[in-house]
Structure formats: C-alpha cells, structure tokens
Chains A and B, each alone.
Chain A
Amino acid sequence: MTGQLFLNINPSSIFDAASPQAARIRHLTIEFIIAASAILILVVILTSFISIKYRSKRQQEDPKQITGNRTLEMWMVGVPLALVILFFFRSLATMNAVLPDRGNHSPDIIITGHQWFWEAVYPGTTITTANEIHLPVGKRILMQLNAADVIHDWWVPALGGKMDMIPGMNNYLWVTIDRPGIYEGACSEFCGQQHAWMRIRVVAESPGDYTLWLRREAAGAHVPQDTLARAGAVLFLESTCSSCHRVKGTAAAGLTGPDLTHFGSRQTMLTGMMANDSVNLGRWLTDPQQVKPGAHMPRFIFAKDSIRALTAYLEQLK
C-alpha cells in the first residue's frame, strides 16, 4: 500500500539536484568526495604496502631506530592545511550562494512544524494548507520556517540543504525549483514519538498549474452533495473534530490540527504515512492510536455508520 504510493515521485538523493541551490551543494560534495577518496586511497595503499613490506622476519635485528623527520613532518601538516584552506573558501562561496542574507525580502511561504504535521501559510493569500506543499517552478522562493512545539527540521534533499525549525525563532531558506514534480523529504530533527512519519511532499508545479491550484485552494470547502457526506459534515461540526481542525467556509475553525479544507485533494494522509483513501481514513477514524501511536488526535468512539459518513465527507473536501 505505502510501497506503491511512492513509485511516481522523483528520486531524492542529494545527487538528484532539482534546484540551483542543491546543484551548488552537489558540486561541492563531488569535489570533496574526489579529495577524500584520494586521501583514503593513499592511506589504504600506504597501510597495505608498509604492512606487507616491513613484516617481521625471523631472527631479525632491531630495525633502524628512526624517531622523526622534520621535513616529512612539515609535509604532513602542510598538505592537509592547504586542502582545508581550499575547502574553506569553496565552502564560504557556496554558503553565500545558497543561503544569502534575506534582506528586506518577505517570505513567500511560511511553514510551521508541528508534532507531527506541516502547516503551510501563503502570505498575501488566505490559504492555509498542510503536509503537501505546493510551490511554483522557476521562481526564487523564500521560505520562513517555524516550529509550534519542539524542534523540527525541513529537508528535501533534491531541493537543497536542511534548516531547523526552532520554537521562538524564524529561520529562512531559499529555494528555486527547476522542474515540476513531487519531491520527497522528511523531518530531520528528532521530534518525538512519530518523527518517522513526518514526511515531506513538495508538489512543484508550472506557474500556470500553480496559479490554478492557488485559486482552487483559496476557495471555501466543497459543499457536500449526497446525504451520507452531508451527515458527515454535521457530525464533523457536532463532534469535537471542529475544535482542532479547520474547514474553511464552515463553522469548523480549530487551529491545533492540520487544516482540512481541501483534504480530499491530497494524495497522502498522516504526513506521508499512507495513501489518502477511504479504507485508511476509516481505520484512522476508528482508532488513531492504533494507526499512528502517539499522534495528538484522541480516540473517539464512533459508530460504523458515523465513520462511513465522516469518510465520505472528508473525501469530498477536494
């Protein structure tokens, strides 16, 4: 189930750079790997060669007792020193290119890490969404990163380096995405029981598609048409769902949990843990602690019919 879900995403190792920021870092990484491999090969060759050549033979006299050699010692310090100075300046240049000062630039998106979901706010719009983060391709974007409870960390390897989200601090990250696609990432600072299921999905879209998405997202929630979903909508408001979750255009305005206004349009649920389908949704609503132990959603004892109604309602929130 979860396996198939991830087949259509772009591979996201640090070498699959899909942004100039990630490409710069990849370039430096490759330079480093070359230098490091050269040193490692030198040490391996010296170790093997010396071990074999100077192995003890029977009844050998003590070898010549050499205690040092100033010239060799100077080389031993000089060569690594030259190498690290080189990498220091390469690394300064890359740092300034990847993460320049933000100046007066205001953030294009504000992402807040919660235990265990991502909340995304798009300044200048009324949009708040969760977990699947849509971004336009080709635009230099400044992300503001915050934390609501403990430290989280934003990392999408194909898009560049990571950045911590720290309570009480604003951190920033620049990203320019080269091509459309879904980019996988994960929270990379241990944040408690469900740190493992705090996956990131960045949906990068062409400017046209992105504008369309913005327009759809800014609209209020879909009004349920059939009886089952309508019953679900009523239940959502009458049960305590609405005190933690928001569904824009309805009375549900809770801010503790993820915004569910367009929940049905997301491909995954529970922060990348599983496909967003009625079976998984049913299981989750039946017993959240069974599905994702430690998650902050309490268990409500719903009747089977109620779960069907709620599932139908949530699935229609496209």
Chain B
Amino acid sequence: MDTILVPEPEESLPSLSVSNDQGILQWISSVDHKQIGIMYLWLSVLFLVVAGIEILLVRLQLAIPNNHFLAPEVYNQLFTMHGTTMIFFVAMPAIFGFTTYFVPLMIGANDMAFPRLNAFSFWTTFFGGSLLYFSFIAGGAPDAGWFNYAPLNEYNYSSSPGIDYYCAGLLFAGIGTVTASINFVVTILHYRVPAMSLKQMPLFVWMILINSFLILAAFPSLNAALAMLLLDRQLHAHFFSAAGGGSAILWQHLFWLFGHPEVYIVILPIFGIFSEVFPVFSRKPIFGYSMVIGSGIAIALLAFGVWVHHMFATGLGNTVNGFFAASSLLIGIPTGVKIFNWLATMHGGAIRFSVSMLFAIAFLIEFTIGGLSGISFAIVPIDWQLTDTYYVVAHLHFVFIGGTLFGLLSGLFYWFPKMSGRAPDQRLSRWFFWLFVTGFNITFLVQHALGAMGMPRRVYTYPNLPGWGVLNLISTIGAFLMAGAVGLLVYILVRALNKGAIAASDPWDANTLEWTTTSPPGLKNFDRVIPVKSTRPFRDYKRPEDADWKRQEVAYTEKPPDIDITQNNSHGE
C-alpha cells in the first residue's frame, strides 16, 4: 500500500521531550492534544457533577408547592450557577475535549497547529471555571440567571460580588474558547494530510471548522457585554442603567447576539459526531454529505440573524418581530433536514445497536421534540404566551440534553475505546442508557404542560394550583433518576479505565483515520498515514475492492459524456 508522510507541526512537539510517566506533573505540563483533550473531558465531567448537584437541590425545593427547603437567595444562586456551568463549563469543554483529541487524528496530523496555545486554552477555561466558583466563598454566587439581564445584574440590585465573578470567569473562559477556535481553524486548514481535500474531510471536522468561525464571530459580543457590565458595576458607568441614560435592553441585544449562536455552537459539533456515528453503525456512507455541510454553513450564517426571538416580548414592534420570526423559522429548516439525512443514512443499512448508536437513535426523537418546541418560539404569538415559562425550560433541555448531551454520550461510547484502550461494560452501559433516557423524559416532558398551565420559570416556589404540585413532583423524581444514571456512568468509566477489557484498535469497523492508530494512540499519532481518496479512507483501505473512490470513478465514467460542441448537436438545442 502506498503511504504518505504525515505533515509535522513546524516547531518540534514540546511534549515529545517529556517522558510519559511523571504523574500529575505530566498532565499539568502537557501540550499533547490527546492529554489536553482528556483533561477537557474530565473538567466537563467534574462540572457536570457539580451543576447536577445544584439542580438536584433546586428540584427538591420545587418538589412540593410552598416549600421552604431553600431560601430564595440560595435558590437563585443555584439555578444561575447550574445554567452558567452547564453551558460554559460542561457543554463547551466536552465539545472541545473531543475536538482537541480527534481533529488532529481524523485529519492525519500529529498535534494541533499551536500545541502551547492549546494548553493555554484549556487552562484559561479551567481558571475561568474556578474563578466563577470562587464566588461562593467570596460573598455569594451570581444570582441573576445565566443570561443575567440588566438592570438586575447591576450593583443596585445584586450587590454581592457574584456577578463580578460571573463577568471575570466568563471572560477568562471566553479567551480560552476563542484561542482554541483559532487553533482548530489553523489545524484543519493547514495540517490535513496533503491528500485530504476539503471535500474529503470527515463531517465532524467540517462541523468543527464551521463552528470555530461561529465562535470567533459570536464571542466578541459577549466579551464586550461582560466588560461593559464590569465597568457599570465597578466604575459606575451606566451602559445598562436607564436612570443614567443607558439602556437595559442593550444587554439583551448584546447577550443574545452571542447567545443564540452559542446555542448552535453547542449543537453543530454534535451534528458532526452523529454524522460519524450513524454511518459507522449503519455500515453505509452518510446520506447527503454536501447537504450536511451546506446546512451547517446555512445555520452558522442564519445564527446571527435570529437573536431577537429571545426578545419577542420586549415590545420591539411587529415589524422587527416579523423579520426575526422569518429568520428563526428559516433556521429550523437546515437544522431539521439533518434528522432526515441521518434517517436516510440508516435506511437500507445494517444497523448495529451499540450504546453509541442507541444514543444516536434516541437523539433523533428527542431532538425532534426539542426542535419542534423551538419552532413554537419562532411563531411570535405563541412565543408571547410561552416564553419565560416552564415550556422554555422543557424546550431548552430537550435541545441541550436530547441534542448536545446525547451527542456527547454517543461520542463518548464511540471513542472511549480509542482514548483509553479499554471497553466499557456493555450490560452496565445499556442500563445507563435506558435509565438516563427514561429519567430525562420523565423530568422534562411534564414541564411543557406546566408552562402552558402558567408556571413561569425561575420561581423558587409556587402556589398550590391544580396539577402544579403533581407535575413538579414527577419532574423531581425524573431528575433523581437522571442523577442516578450519571452516578452509574461515572462508575462505568472508572471501572473501565481500571479493569475494562482491552479494546481493539478498530472495534467498530469504522471509516476514519483515528481508527488506524493504536488504542490509545501513541504519543506521536502517526508514522505513516493510509491514502486518503474519499471521505472514508479507512474503509477504502480495508475493502479495496469496494472503495468509495472507485465507485465514484465508475459512476463518473458510466455517465454519458458531456455534450461536445465540436460534434453535431444531437439534442437539437
């Protein structure tokens, strides 16, 4: 087999000079993309547990009407920290973990373009998260919700230092996010194995490329808003205070101009993961490769024109609302068609129900529910009724859990053998899947009804209106089921790492380059890379007689030759 040399980063890899057995120091000082990826993932698990405990306390408080388990000021800190943590320190690090680990492997590179910057990105994220949590001992955590509306976020209404830590923590994490994205863009554009054209990149890599541009465009708006808020709070500026000539609603524009792209930032990479998982476990190529990329780009562009759908009830008028209703309805299309891309990928395939695939199949239904309830917010009058109620809470969890988290879990079970060299226990993993999916649906399905029945979100307690108590109790029970499942997951992972069965280097008969390495990959990923002539190089390598590129060539030569204008025009045109 002809092989080609791997492009090396222009600088020597600093990690190669460090021996591999220095314990924790090795991890802290590492600039190896695989170790940094794993650290991102553990950071995410750590914060998942923390933010999970926060929300269990919240759900306990809401289990019965007129409950006095938590004081309102504690409750408000807990739900604020839950939301902020889950978005910025669970979803984002988990996505970056998989990205940092697998993008170089999938494009045949030995490391990220800027290995030191990669470590910097991780540690600033880590530091940002620590700073956010330091607020608990510095006088109180932020308490104005994860989107932290003005003027409630101003010193007059929230005088504990929590919101200052919110600004500082998110600014730090934001710097890490932006530097990581620059690193991904350069790595993907510049360090692919030379044979891999853009049109042969795995879809996960494509989605990361699109996503990184999305991040680069979205985060400045958040960072500006955070800096302005810090000025307001610390130096008595008044960007967001109406009394001083500022504008409360400006915060909402700046925040959601970041915030809505952010929603797609935590879902596009997930679409990438699923676009790897569905083909592998259906033993078919992705249905509509270029359509998946095209819809990803469409989402990224439209994402900047939909932010006002978070503000339909702020009284901007029907003209403005109409414009953003149109764009928000439109963005549903490239998001929705992907469901059918994956269904068509499964159709006619040979589906293997691994735990990874189970999460992918469950995602199809859960994400459809979340997507459809999302469309109801693009229909302005329905939004007027349902925004800021428990219906939103249900919707966003169907998207973030049924979408993002299911995707991360699918990716985890897909790639865990590669990353650890160990296989997690199949039986326990299936238990985890069913327990988690059941708990999730019990928790959040009923919240749609609560919203329609008039329960606003972010209330620390509620009156005993007909049905409210029962539905909230059901939701709390579901939350504890999910918590039990997460406990089981941590047990499964730790057990697999210690005494799991040794994993093969290609346990799923997969398609992409990361599976050509050992499990786990050596410090230097590749010596040689197999030829890349299609989107599924490893499959081509394993089944040379049925290679994708051969089929494409056949299809090409079988097509009638193009009309040659030098010949007689037999089509009569």
A155 to B346, CA, bound (A): 45
B181 at the interface (CB under 8 A from A): no
For residue A184, which residues in chain B have a CB less than 8 angstroms away from its CB?
454, 465
A166 to chain B, nearest CB (A): 6
In the assembled complex, 29 residue pairs joining A and B whose CB atoms fall closer than 8 Å, in A order, are A22-B385, A36-B373, A39-B372, A40-B372, A54-B282, A57-B350, A63-B282, A64-B284, A65-B285, A67-B289, A69-B287, A76-B340, A84-B329, A91-B379, A91-B382, A95-B322, A99-B318, A145-B315, A150-B149, A151-B151, A161-B383, A162-B385, A167-B242, A184-B454, A184-B465, A189-B149, A190-B457, A192-B76, A294-B73
With contact pairs A36-B375, A99-B318, A186-B456 given, residues A80 and B337 touching in the complex (Cβ less than 8 Å): yes
With contact pairs A95-B318, A95-B322, A190-B152 given, residues A65 and B546 touching in the complex (Cβ less than 8 Å): yes
A14 at the interface (CB under 8 A from B): yes
A194 to B460, CA, bound (A): 8
For residue A29, which residues in chain B have a CB less than 8 angstroms away from its CB?
376, 381-382, 385
* Residue pair A164, B368 in contact (C-beta under 8 Å): no
Q: Which of A45-53, A259-267, A299-307 forms part of the interface with chain B? A: A45-53
* Residue pair B249, A166 in contact (C-beta under 8 Å): yes
Closest to A154 in B: B313
* Residue pair B349, A63 in contact (C-beta under 8 Å): yes
CB within 8 Å of B: which A144-184 residues? 145, 149-151, 153, 155, 157, 160-164, 166-169, 171-172, 184
Closest to B286 in A: A67
A68 at the interface (CB under 8 A from B): yes
Q: Which of these, B144, B314, B381, B453, contacts A190 with CB under 8 Å?
A: B144
Closest to B389 in A: A188
CB within 8 Å of B: which A1-51 residues? 2-3, 5-6, 11-15, 22, 24-25, 28-29, 32, 36, 39-40, 43-44, 46-47, 50-51
Q: Which of these, B290, B353, B375, B387, contacts A162 with CB under 8 Å?
A: B387
* Residue pair B351, A293 in contact (C-beta under 8 Å): no
* Residue pair B351, A196 in contact (C-beta under 8 Å): no
B393 at the interface (CB under 8 A from A): no
* Residue pair B456, A155 in contact (C-beta under 8 Å): yes
For residue B546, which residues in chain A have a CB less than 8 angstroms away from its CB?
62, 65
A11 to B440, CA, bound (A): 28
CB within 8 Å of A: which B324-381 residues? 325-326, 329-330, 332-333, 336-337, 339-341, 343-344, 346-353, 361, 364-365, 368-369, 372-373, 375-376, 378-381
A72 to B457, CA, bound (A): 41
A25 to B383, CA, bound (A): 10
A242 to B284, CA, bound (A): 77
Closest to A65 in B: B285
Closest to B363 in A: A47
A258 at the interface (CB under 8 A from B): no
For residue A150, which residues in chain B have a CB less than 8 angstroms away from its CB?
149, 151-152, 157, 248
* Residue pair B289, A68 in contact (C-beta under 8 Å): yes
B190 at the interface (CB under 8 A from A): no
Most buried by A among B65, B376, B456: B456
B145 at the interface (CB under 8 A from A): yes
Closest to B384 in A: A161
A213 at the interface (CB under 8 A from B): no
For residue B346, which residues in chain A have a CB less than 8 angstroms away from its CB?
50-51, 54
A167 to B387, CA, bound (A): 20
* Residue pair A166, B456 in contact (C-beta under 8 Å): no
For residue B523, which residues in chain A have a CB less than 8 angstroms away from its CB?
none
A99 to chain B, nearest CB (A): 7
B14 at the interface (CB under 8 A from A): no
